Structure 1
Amino acid sequence: MNDAGANNKNGLLEKGRSGVLHVIFGRSAVVLVLILIQLILMFWVFDYFRKSVPYFFGGHLIIALALVFIVLNRPSNPAMQLSWVVIIMISPVVGGLFYFYVETHPGQRILEKRLETLYKQTAKYITQDEEIAQKLAKRDKGTARMADYIRKHGNFSVYQNTKVTYFPLGENKFEAMLQELEKAEKFIFLEYFIVEKGYMWAKVLEVLQRKVAEGVEVRLMYDGTCAFNYLPYRYPEEIRKMGIQCKMFSPILPILSTHYNNRDHRKILVIDGKVGFTGGVNIGDEYINRRAPFGHWKDTAIMLEGDGVEGLTQMFLQMWNVTEKCEDFGKYLQKENCGIQDDSGFILPFGDSPFDRELIGETVYMDIINRAEDYVHIMTPYLIIDHEMETALCYAAKRGVDVKLILPHIPDKKMPFALAKTHYPQLLKAGVRIFEYTPGFVHAKVFSSDGRKAVVGTINLDYRSLYLHFECGAFLFDLPVIEEIEKDFEHTLAECQEVTMADYRKGNIIQKICGKALKLLAPLM
C-alpha cells in the first residue's frame, strides 16, 4: 500500500473511532443512559415492594384488573386498549403503574392545555369565506360536509384562488424551494420533522443567512429528536447567532416523560404568506437522492400560491407559540394579493394534533375511501393500520372500487415493514392490489381518488401518524393538479412489482412470525 492509501485508511479509521466515541460520550448517549437508570430504579422499587410487602402482589393484581376495566371503558382506539390490557396482565405491577404514569403525566397535560388555549386565542384570525363554502356545497354535498367538520373541529378553512404545483420527487421540490426562498421580502417560516446537516441544508441555510441580512424575518423549528441523530443539541444557539430565530419542538431531556411520544412530524415552509410548501420531504440529503441508504427515495410535495397559504401559516404560528406568549397572528395572516384568480376547484390545508381528541387525518382518509366510486390510489411508507381502516379498504375493494397501494420494497425500518406484511393477506383476499416500489423506498404520503380528490401531506398510514404525532396535509378537490398526481401514481406503479397471495405465502417465515408477534403492541410502538 502506498503512503496516500495508508494515510487515507488511517484517516478513515480515525474518523470511525471519532464517530464511535461521539456516540458513546455524546449527549444522546448520556440522555439514554440516564433514562435507562430511571427505568431500572423504577423496576427495582416495584420488585422490592413485591418481595417485601405482604399481599402487595395480590393487592396490585386487583388494582391491575380495575385498570383493565378502566382502559376498556375509556374512549380510545380498541387496538390501543388491547395493547394496554396485554401489558397490564403480563406484568400487573409494572404494566399497571406504567399505564397510570402515561395517563397522568403532567408534562403531557400541560402541553394539551397550552394548545387548547392557543387554538381558542387564534380562532379569530381564521374565518371561512361563506361564499366559497356554499360553492363547495353546490358542487359536492359530501365533500362540503367533511370540510365543515374540519372547520368546526380543527378551525381550518377551505379556499379557492390557489395555484397548486405538484412535485413527484424531493429534488423537484428542493429546486423550487430555493427559487422561492430567494424571492422572500418579509418573512420565512420553516417547520420540519428532520433537519440534517448536508448539501441540502447547507444550500437552504446559505439563502436564509442572505435573507436575514436583507431584513427578512426568518424562523426555523425542527423536532427535538434531531438532536439524537442529525444536529448538536445546542444547534439552535448556533443558528440564532446568524440572526435566525430557532427552536426545537419538545427537546428530549434526561427524564422519563410520555409526551416524547408526540412528535412534530409536519413539513411546512411559508414565504411572505404568498407561497407555501408541504408534503413528505424533510431537509436531508436522502430526500433529494444525494444519498441512497435505501435505494431510490420516492417522495412528493406540493407548493401553494395564493389564498390557501393562510392555512399553512396558521399551523406554523400555532406550533411556534406553544412555548411562547401568544403573539399577534394578524400581520402574518393577511391574505397577500398574488394575482391568482382560480375558482375551478378547492383546497383545504389541515393539521392534526394528538391532543384535540379528533382524528382529523384518519377521518379525511376514511372519507375518501368510503365515498370512492371508481378508484382509490395510495402511496405510503408504512402500513400499520387499525381494524376500521383495514375494513374500509377491504369494503371499497369488495364493492368494485379499484384500490391500489404502493409501499416500499426496500424498507428503512425492519419492524414496521414486518408489521405491514401482516395486513397483506386480508387486503389481498378482499381484492386490494398491493405493489412494492422495487427501486427503493417510498416516503410519499399521497391519496388520489376518482380524478376529483387528492391529499398530499405528512400523514402515514400508521398509528404514530394517525394518533400520536402532529401532522399536516392538503385536501384537494376538482383542481387541475389532481390529474398530475394520478399520472405520477401510474408512473410509479410501472416501477413496482405486484404482490400476490402466492408471493406472500413464499415470504420470509421469520419476518412473518416477528410481524405477528409485534402486531399486538403495534399501537404503542
Structure 2
Amino acid sequence: MDGGLEVETYEGKQKSKNGIKRLIFSVLSILLQVVFLVLIFTRLNEYASIIDWTTRVLAILLVLFIYSQNQTATMKVPWIILILAFPILGVALYFLVGLNGGTKKMKRRYDEVDEKLFKYLGEGVKNPDGRGISEYIHKYSGYPVYENTEVKYFDEAIKGLDSQLHDLALAKDFIFMEYHAIEDKEAWQKIQTVLEERVKAGVEVRVFYDDMGSIGFVNMSFAKKLEAVGIKCRVFNPLMPGLNMFLNNRDHRKITVIDGKIGYTGGYNLANEYFNFTHPYGEWKDTGIRICGQAVRSLTVSFLEMWNASSKEERDSEENLAFYLKDRNYPKNCAGYIQPYADSPLDGEQVGEEVYISMVNKAERYCYFMTPYLIITDELAHALSLASKRGVDVRIVTPGIPDKKPIYRVTRSFYNVLAENGVRIFEWTPGFCHAKMSVADDRLATCGTINLDYRSLYHHFENGCFMTDVPAVLSIKEDFDETFRQCREVTEKYSVKWSAPHRLSQMIMRLFAQLL
C-alpha cells in the first residue's frame, strides 16, 4: 500500500529515533544542571571558580555562535539570556530545540523532490500591480504569478466545505487533500463518503495530514481505515507518545486539489469546530478561497512536495508528475493576478513574514490583518508601527474568546507596543477567530494558513495565496468591514502605560514567546 501506517514514512522513522535521543538528552541535561548547582554549593567550593569560568567560557562561545547566525534578534536574545543564566540547561535546550538535528537531512530530501517538481511551474507572468511582492515570492519560494484563474472567497468555512463537497463529487482523475488536522466526525465523514464514491469510479485519492495537529481528532487506525477503502494516506511526522514531544516543524498547510483544475486553501481544517458543528470557543470564524485555473498548478506542486518528501523510497515517477502537472482546459480572460505560494522552515527564508511586512510597507491607505495569534518579531512590529505613523490605517483582528489561554495572554502582551504607535486592535467578540488573511488598498490581499506568530512564520510548513486586482480582494475587504462591526476595539485600553509589574510580565512573556 502507498503510505499507510503499515508502511511507516521515512520521516516518522527518523523522528521517532531522534525523539528517544532528545527525550533522554533533555532529562539528563536538567538533572545535570541541578546536580551541578548542588555540587557547587556543597562539595566543590574549592573548585567553584574554575568550574564557573569553564562553563561561562563555553556558554559565551555558544552565545557568539548564536549571535553570528543570520536570524532576527527576536529569535536570538531569548537563547542568549537562557544560556548565560543557566549554562548547562540553556546549552542542552538549544541543541534540543534551537538546533534541529534532522533539518539538514530533511532539507536534502525536500531539495531532491523540489528539483523534479518546480520545473513544471515555469516562469509565470509579470504582475504590474504586485508592488515588488510577486517578484520576491517568485525569487525566494519558486512560485510564479498566474493569470486566467477564477478566485472565489468564502467568509465562512461551512461555505467552503459545501463548495468542496460539490467539486469533489465531480472529480474525474485525482483528488489531493493535505490538512494540518482531520477529525473523524461529521464534517470529515461527509467528505470521506464522497471520496469513497470517487475511488469506486476510478479516481485516485490521496490524503496527507499532520499527526500532531490531529491528536485528539483521530486514532492510530485512521490511516489504515482510509487505505482499506482505497484512499491512499500518509502521515506527516507520526508522533510516538512521549518520544517526539520536541518537534518544531509541523505541516500546517491546508490544500485540496481536484483534477489539477480546482484548488482550495484557507484557514480551516477538516474538523467539526471549524464549521460550527460544535462550539468549544463560541462561534468560529474561518475563511478560505476556491481557485480555478492555471494557479492550481502551484497548489498541486505544494501537495506533491510534502507527499513525496515524506517517503524516501515511494515517490512519484516522472510520468506521474507530468500527468498531475500538465496543462488543462483553464478559464480565459480572468481579471487580476494570483500567486499561490508555500513557506518552508528548511530554507532559512521566512516568506510568510516577508510577504506580510511587504504588504504593510507598500500600503498607502490601509492594511488589515486577521490572525488567531499575535506573537511577532520586532521587525514585523516595527513595520506595522511605522506604517501607522506614516498615516496608513493599520488594523489587526484577533479572537475575543481564546482556544489557548496562555497563548492568548502572550498575544495580548504585544498589543501595547502596537497600540502606542497607532495600530488599531480589534477582538472578535462572538468567539474564536481562526482566519489568516490580509488586505490593503482594495488592490492586494492574502489568504492562507499563515498566522502572525513564530510557529507559523518560522517553524511550520505553510501556504498562502497572494492576490492583486481580482474581484475576491474586494470580497475580503467587505468581510473585514463586517467583522469590525462584530468586534470590540481595545486600542485605547492598551495604548496607555500600564503598571510596572504588568509591564514586566509583558516583557518576560514577549521575550520568551518564541520558545513556546
What's the TM-score once normalised by structure 2's chain length? 0.88
Query: Residues 252 and 508 from structure 1, CA distance in 2 versus in 1: closer, same or farther, beyond 3 angstroms?
Result: farther
Query: Residues 482 and 126 from structure 1, CA distance in 2 versus in 1: closer, same or farther, beyond 3 angstroms?
Result: same
- Quote how far apart the aligned CAs of 1:124 are: 1.6
Query: Residues 66 and 386 from structure 1, CA distance in 2 versus in 1: closer, same or farther, beyond 3 angstroms?
Result: same
1:334 is aligned to 2:321: no
Contact 1:161 1:306 in 2 (8 A): yes
Instruction: Quote the Cα distance in structure 2 between the aligned partners of 1:184 and 1:507.
Output: 57
2:338 alignment counterpart: 347
Query: Residues 70 and 256 from structure 1, CA distance in 2 versus in 1: closer, same or farther, beyond 3 angstroms?
Result: farther
Contact 2:281 2:401 in 1 (8 A): yes
- Quote how far apart the aligned CAs of 1:510 are: 9.2
1:317 alignment counterpart: 304
- Quote how far apart the aligned CAs of 1:34 are: 10
The equivalent position to 1:65 in structure 2, one of 53, 56, 60, is 60
Instruction: Quote the Cα distance in structure 1 between the aligned partners of 2:514 and 2:497.
Output: 27
Aligned runs of 1:4-403 on 2, under 5 Å? 39-45=26-32, 47=34, 51=39, 55-56=50-51, 58-102=53-97, 105-129=100-124, 132-133=125-126, 136=127, 139-140=128-129, 143=131, 145-226=132-213, 228-253=215-240, 260-324=247-311, 325=313, 326-327=315-316, 328=318, 329-338=321-330, 340-403=331-394
The 3-state SS of whatever aligns with 1:183 is: coil
Contact 1:163 1:342 in 2 (8 A): no
Contact 2:208 2:236 in 1 (8 A): yes
Gapped regions of structure 1 (runs ≥ 5): 1-30
C-alpha offsets along residues 309-367 of structure 1, whole Å, 9 cap, x if unaligned?
111001000010112344232110112103x1124210000000001111111111111
The 3-state SS of whatever aligns with 1:261 is: coil
Contact 1:227 1:233 in 2 (8 A): no
Instruction: Quote the Cα distance in structure 1 between the aligned partners of 2:309 and 2:483.
Output: 39
1:10 alignment counterpart: none
Contact 1:34 1:255 in 2 (8 A): no
Contact 2:425 2:489 in 1 (8 A): yes
After superposing the two structures, state which structure 1 stretch, 297-306 or 41-50, moved more.
41-50
Q: Which has the higher helix share?
A: 1
The 3-state SS of whatever aligns with 1:67 is: helix
The 3-state SS of whatever aligns with 1:475 is: strand
The residue type paired with residue 150 of structure 1 is I
1:6 alignment counterpart: none
Query: Residues 104 and 487 from structure 1, CA distance in 2 versus in 1: closer, same or farther, beyond 3 angstroms?
Result: closer
- CA RMSD after TM alignment: 2.5
1:404 is aligned to 2:395: yes
- Quote how far apart the aligned CAs of 1:92 are: 0.3
Give the number of aligned pairs.
486
Aligned runs of 1:442-461 on 2, under 5 Å? 442-461=433-452
C-alpha offsets along residues 245-274 of structure 1, whole Å, 9 cap, x if unaligned?
101101123575687111100000001011
Percent same amino acid among aligned pairs?
38
Contact 1:196 1:231 in 2 (8 A): yes
Contact 2:371 2:433 in 1 (8 A): yes
Instruction: Quote the Cα distance in structure 2 between the aligned partners of 1:43 and 1:394.
Output: 40
Query: Residues 299 and 405 from structure 1, CA distance in 2 versus in 1: closer, same or farther, beyond 3 angstroms?
Result: same
Instruction: Quote the Cα distance in structure 2 between the aligned partners of 1:382 and 1:486.
Output: 20
Query: Residues 80 and 233 from structure 1, CA distance in 2 versus in 1: closer, same or farther, beyond 3 angstroms?
Result: same
Contact 2:22 2:96 in 1 (8 A): no
Instruction: Quote the Cα distance in structure 1 between the aligned partners of 2:188 and 2:172.
Output: 21
Instruction: Quote the Cα distance in structure 2 between the aligned partners of 1:512 and 1:197.
Output: 43
Contact 1:223 1:264 in 2 (8 A): yes
- Quote how far apart the aligned CAs of 1:420 are: 1.7
Contact 1:418 1:514 in 2 (8 A): no
Contact 1:34 1:254 in 2 (8 A): no
- Quote how far apart the aligned CAs of 1:43 are: 2.7
The residue type paired with residue 300 of structure 2 is T
Query: Residues 509 and 270 from structure 1, CA distance in 2 versus in 1: closer, same or farther, beyond 3 angstroms?
Result: farther
The residue type paired with residue 177 of structure 1 is Q
The residue type paired with residue 112 of structure 1 is K
1:524 is aligned to 2:515: yes
1:482 is aligned to 2:473: yes
The 3-state SS of whatever aligns with 1:69 is: helix
Contact 1:38 1:256 in 2 (8 A): no
Gapped regions of structure 2 (runs ≥ 5): 1-17
2:13 alignment counterpart: none
The 3-state SS of whatever aligns with 2:229 is: coil
Instruction: Quote the Cα distance in structure 2 between the aligned partners of 1:442 and 1:226.
Output: 18
- Quote how far apart the aligned CAs of 1:104 are: 5.2
Query: Residues 300 and 227 from structure 1, CA distance in 2 versus in 1: closer, same or farther, beyond 3 angstroms?
Result: closer
Instruction: Quote the Cα distance in structure 2 between the aligned partners of 1:388 and 1:395.
Output: 10
Contact 1:375 1:401 in 2 (8 A): yes
The 3-state SS of whatever aligns with 2:75 is: helix
Where relative contact order (Cα < 8 A, 6+ residues apart) is larger, the structure is 2
1:416 is aligned to 2:407: yes
- Quote how far apart the aligned CAs of 1:465 are: 0.6
C-alpha offsets along residues 116-138 of structure 1, whole Å, 9 cap, x if unaligned?
22222322221023xx32xx2xx
- Quote how far apart the aligned CAs of 1:149 are: 2.4
After superposing the two structures, state which structure 1 stretch, 371-380 or 251-260, moved more.
251-260
Contact 2:344 2:461 in 1 (8 A): yes
Contact 1:160 1:345 in 2 (8 A): yes
After superposing the two structures, state which structure 1 stretch, 33-42 or 390-399, moved more.
33-42
After superposing the two structures, state which structure 1 stretch, 43-52 or 175-184, moved more.
43-52
Contact 2:419 2:494 in 1 (8 A): no
1:491 alignment counterpart: 482
After superposing the two structures, state which structure 1 stretch, 448-457 or 104-113, moved more.
104-113
Instruction: Quote the Cα distance in structure 2 between the aligned partners of 1:128 and 1:259.
Output: 38
